């Protein structure tokens, strides 16, 4: 279903993503972080839907559909690096800081801080061109 997007994202020199593709890639990254601890909790899924609705001014149905599409894309995608690189190329630095906050909100939505999620978020922050300090401040703002 998402083969063309994945092929474009994994090309040796990928072109910047269109706005809808960047939206889907970000949503899939949120799902990947939520799934990284092996427990994709309902609270995390609901938080993803809520954050997508807020970020993109979507109604509940459209945000839910975007999350479902992102879940499918995430399960088909080869690795976090290419997702994150595509988002970095498509989004300005200030918006990446907001993305980091959203990622932390998703990771913490189940009420637990997990070592696997911490590791995933450390990797993602680096790939987004953000420092450990940026990530820690984002986490603190969410907590």
- CA dist 72 and 74 (Å) reads 5
**C-alpha triplet 90, 19, 3: angle, nearest 5°:** 90
What is the pLDDT tens value at each position of the chain, 143 positions in all? 577 877 777 677 667 778 888 899 899 999 999 998 889 999 999 999 999 999 999 999 999 999 999 999 999 887 788 778 878 877 888 889 999 999 999 999 888 888 888 999 999 999 999 999 999 999 999 98
What CATH superfamily is the domain 19-142? Answer: TerB-like (1.10.3680.10)
Query: What is the pTM (predicted TM-score) of this model?
Result: 0.85
Do residues 74 and 28 lie in contact, with contact meaning Cβ atoms separated by under 8 Å? yes
> Locate tokens 């994994």: which residue?
10
Domain coordinates in residue numbering, the chain? 19-142
- CA dist 38 and 102 (Å) reads 19
69 burial via Cβ count (<10 Å: 0-12, 13-18, 19+): middle
């Amino acid at each position: 279903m998402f083969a063309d997007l994945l092929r474009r994202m994994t090309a040796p020199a990928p072109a910047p993503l269109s706005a809808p593709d960047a939206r889907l890639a970000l949503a899939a990254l949120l799902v990947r972080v939520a799934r990284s601890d092996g427990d994709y909790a309902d609270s995390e899924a609901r938080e993803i839907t809520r954050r997508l609705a807020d970020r993109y001014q979507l109604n509940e149905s459209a945000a839910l559909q975007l999350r479902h599409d992102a879940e499918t894309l995430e399960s088909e995608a080869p690795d976090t690096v290419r997702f994150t690189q595509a988002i970095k190329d498509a989004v300005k630095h200030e918006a990446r800081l907001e993305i980091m906050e959203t990622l932390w909100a998703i990771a913490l939505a189940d009420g637990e801080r997990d070592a696997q999620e911490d590791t995933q978020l450390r990797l993602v922050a680096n790939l987004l061109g953000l420092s450990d300090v940026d990530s820690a401040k984002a986490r603190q703002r969410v907590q």
